[in-house]
Amino acid sequence: MTTPIERIAALTVGTVEYVSPDQIKVLLELDAPQATALNTGVPIGFPRINSYVLIPNEAGAVVALVAWLGVEPSSFPKRTGLKDFGLIDLPYPLRKMSLVPLGTLSHAKAKGKQQVRYRLERGVAVFPSVGDPVLLPTSDQLRSIVESEGADRRVTIGISPLASNATVSVDPDKIFGRHLAVLGNTGSGKSCTVAGLIRWSLKAAEGERAAAGLVGPANARFIILDPNGEYTRTFSDLSPSVRVFQVPPVVAECQELSLPAWMWNSNEWSSFAAAAPGAQRPILLQALRDLRAGAAIREPVVAQVSRLFRSYRARLAQLIAQGASGYANFPANRNCGAIIRNIETDASRYETATDAGLKKALGELAGEAKTRANSHAWNSATNSGYNDFSETDVLAVVNRIDVVLAELPAGTKSVPPNEDAPVQFDVSQMADHLEQLAGDVGGGNVAQFVATLAMRVRMMLADRRLGPIVMPAHSIAFEKWLEDYVGVNSATTGQIAILDLSLVPADVIHVVIAVVARIVFEATQRYRKLNTVELPTVLVLEEAHTFVRRSGEEEQATISPAQMCRQTFERIAREGRKFGLGLVLSSQRPSELSATVLAQCNTFILHRIVNDRDQELVSRLVPDNLGGLLRELPSLPARQAILLGWATAVPVLVEIAELPTEHRPHSADPKFWDVWTSVESRPVDWKTIAEDWTS
Ligand SMILES: Nc1ncnc2c1ncn2[C@@H]1O[C@H](COP(=O)(O)OP(=O)(O)OP(=O)(O)O)[C@@H](O)[C@H]1O
Ligand SMILES: [Mg+2]
């Protein structure tokens, strides 16, 4: 049996030579281990970069990370025995190492247990002094450094090879609550880590529920935006089953991806249509307002009449205010005629559906509008149009509208139509309606824009892949959509929704991702508004660098879909936490990611990163003194990663637990050799592919 003092002596590997707040230099003992330390109970590698050492003090011990190792020649050896300074020595190599202080390990006696436990706290309260001994941690101490305590121990994600294979666990509240970024080169294991994290979290939650005697699945919500279609089969063994949405035609067990265009808000429409803010955006917004208001079934007829004719009246009043240039000379006469014609159509449309007084007034309005329009209309073999109107004509129609408005029951208020509300409307009417509005407003560049926009909308609806997504064959109610994509009460239909976006055409994938992310965000926002508590939801975005791209310098008038997508995610990154919406971003190119989004991520799992721009960027994410830790990034083997940030007290090197093949995202490295040598067969039939492509 050794005494505590002897034990400490046996573990001492060196003495402190230099101390600054971010660096400690140590002179290693001559007899300190050269490669493997056997004196800690279990063999651990020492000295090794990124392994831990302790420097005891009155508060416990400072935990430090080995950042640099080297040999420095000295004019005489560090003598242990007789010191005879009369001797002249040859230069003598001394081993040194440089440490980065990480935190403080203190004693914490576990309740009811004899065994001494240690607890790691962030920050260093008392810095060591020159001459202090540096110790190797025992395996118990190592465990306490890496293994977290209490609530932090909820989900195990792997082991720490540098800390005698202690398990590394995380707390979902911390890792998902404040956004997580998983970064690394292609093939470094990001998708596997994300898939594992979700799977292990659900498993752990289920275990805890079972222990508490609860039945039913974990009440969790994960939404995976998967641009490469990697995750389709990853969770298929979980019950209740996951919901996978695919671009039609779908394979078995998947549902059709639908994102009706009536859910898009005005921003999303504008960026899809590349509408310039000047003349084009207002028309688009007007079209959305009209279609949404027309579709709002709850709006009573009188309210619809009130809204419609008040807006017509306002437009005519505008024309009168402009004087002759409002209704005479081309194209003003043509536009004025078109408005009067629309008034006629709408007045006779509502004539059938209202009470006697209103019916009469509408009838007279329709009659007046018809007479005025007809008396100025001209027709030739090739064209048609209107001659100049006069103020009298316009005033006559305005007066009739006033009669109609006077007939409405007192206090009739139209529901102000909102161009952003996800009110269902018939998307196929969009193009026609835009053209009609263009007729009303007139103006060369407007007509041209509307023609382009109407064509884009028509093409989108006709597109074999996109059409069914933006205008599903079976109309889907908004609440059903939320149940499908965010999850039902108690998550009884599954906790994971996977949106396989692999076949969404490239020019709209940004819009699709932005819309889904925004709706999920607003849904959690509204949930908290009505329930006062938040609904924990996790939104996973793969290939984040493509969708949340760092903003360029150029300022454009129109918002491109990529810009809009970035703005949506920046907003979620900034505000999502308050509503329980956590982001998990996976990216190969952190240097191309939006700085705002990255700055809001509080936890990082860093896999191998070779590119120096990316390395430089991630090194800026950690405090200066820890930069050295990340120098290991280019040489990390697969499955190993550095976990750092909010979810862990000190940065740890984790070997992520192994996922069996069937639970991995479908992204195995291509097998060139096996195919070349016919170990695996790959029949090629371009005909079927060409047909599928072109049909
Ligand atoms: N935890 C793990 N368990 C088992 N295998 C893993 C694990 N992590 C990585 N791998 C192996 O590494 C391969 C690549 O991993 P993964 O697809 O996760 O990389 P990635 O970083 O997402 O790449 P990309 O950026 O190209 O999407 C996997 O096919 C798998 O063989
Ligand atoms: Mg991947």
For 188-242, how does the pLDDT look when each residue is reduced to its tens digit (9 = 90+)? 999 999 999 999 999 999 999 999 998 878 899 999 999 998 998 899 888 777 8
Secondary structure letter of residue 409 according to DSSP: P
| Ligand 2 centroid, distance to 194 Cα (angstroms) | 9
Query: Which residues partner with 95 through β-bridges?
Result: 71
Residues written for the chain: 695
Q: Is the CB of 640 under 6 A from ligand 1?
A: no
Q: What's the confidence (pLDDT) of residue 652? A: 85
The per-residue pLDDT for range 561-590, each reduced to its tens digit, is: 888 999 999 999 999 999 999 999 999 999
CA-CA distances (angstroms) from residue 364 to 233, 404, 605?
65, 9, 72
Three-state DSSP class for 234?
Answer: coil
Residue of the nearest CA to atom 9 in ligand 1?
Answer: 189
Inter-CA distances, 635 with 218, 406, 608, 640, Å: 38, 80, 7, 10
Q: Taking the complete model, does pTM exceed 0.75, yes or no?
A: yes
Q: 3-state DSSP call for residue 550?
A: coil
Which residues of the chain carry a pLDDT beneath 50? 1, 296-298
Instruction: Note the pLDDT of residue 469.
Output: 86
Three-class SS of residue 231? coil
Determine which residue's CA is closest to atom 28 belonging to ligand 1.
Answer: 668
Which residues of 453-587 form beta strands (DSSP E)?
496-500, 537-541, 581-587
Q: 412 is written with which tokens?
A: 């009739």
Q: How far, in Å, CA of 331 to CA of 333, rounded?
A: 6
Is any atom of ligand 1 closer than 6 Å to the C-beta of 668?
A: yes
In terms of C-beta distances under 8 Å and separation of at least 24 residues, what long-range contacts does 121-129 make, across chains too?
121/649, 122/649, 122/650, 124/62, 125/59, 126/57, 126/58, 126/59, 126/62, 127/19, 127/21, 127/62, 127/101, 128/16, 128/19, 128/24, 128/55, 128/57, 128/62, 129/16, 129/19
Q: Which two tokens stand for residue 6?
A: 């002897």
Q: What separation in Å is there between the alpha carbon of 71 and the centre of ligand 2? A: 41
| CB of 258 closer than 6 angstroms to any ligand 1 atom | no
Q: Is the CB of 158 under 6 A from ligand 1?
A: no
Angle made by CA atoms 512, 515, 172, in degrees to the nearest 5: 105
Run of H or E residues at 99: strand 92-109
CB 582 within 8 A of CB 178: yes
**DSSP secondary structure letter of residue 44:** E
The type of residue at 464 is: R
Q: How far apart are CA 218 and CA 235, in angstroms?
A: 15
Q: How far is CA 117 from CA 143, 161, 495, in A?
A: 10, 21, 37
Contact 597, 548 (CB under 8 A): yes
Domain locations along the chain: 4-146, 172-258+476-550+559-660+670-689, 266-455
Looking at residue 296, its pLDDT comes to 47
Ligand 1 within 6 A of CB of 606:
no
- Cross-strand pairs, 57: 60
Query: What is 172-258+476-550+559-660+670-689's CATH number?
Result: 3.40.50.300
String of DSSP letters for 395-408: HHHHHHHHHHHHHS
User: How many A from CA of 188 to the centre of ligand 1?
Assistant: 6
pLDDT at 297: 43
Q: How far is the CA of 191 from the centre of ligand 1 (A)?
A: 6
DSSP string, 103-122: EEEEEEEPTT-SSEEEEEEE
Tell me if 326 sits within 8 A of 320, measured CB to CB: yes
The string of DSSP codes covering 187-219 is: TSSHHHHHHHHHHHHHHHHHHHHHHTT--S---
CA distance 679 to 248: 34
Assess whether the C-beta atom of 184 lies below 6 angstroms from ligand 1. Answer: yes
CA separation for the pair 485, 225 (Å, rounded): 11
**Nearest C-alpha neighbor of 484 from the set 224, 244, 263, 262:** 244
- The CA distances from residue 679 to 53, 70, 676, in Å, are 49, 48, 8
Tell whether ligand 1 has an atom less than 6 A from the beta carbon of residue 638: yes
Q: Are 666 and 676 in contact (CB under 8 A)?
A: no
Instruction: Burial-class residue 122 by CB neighbours within 10 Å (0-12, 13-18, 19+).
Output: exposed
Is the CB of 252 within 6 Å of ligand 1? Answer: no
**Are the CB atoms for 54 and 7 separated by under 8 Å?**
no
> Ligand 1 centroid vs 619 CA: distance in angstroms?
23
And the tokens for 308?
A: 């419609």
227 lines ligand 1 (CB under 6 A): no
What is the distance in A from the centroid of ligand 1 to the CA of 187? 5
* DSSP H helical ranges for 632-679: 672-676
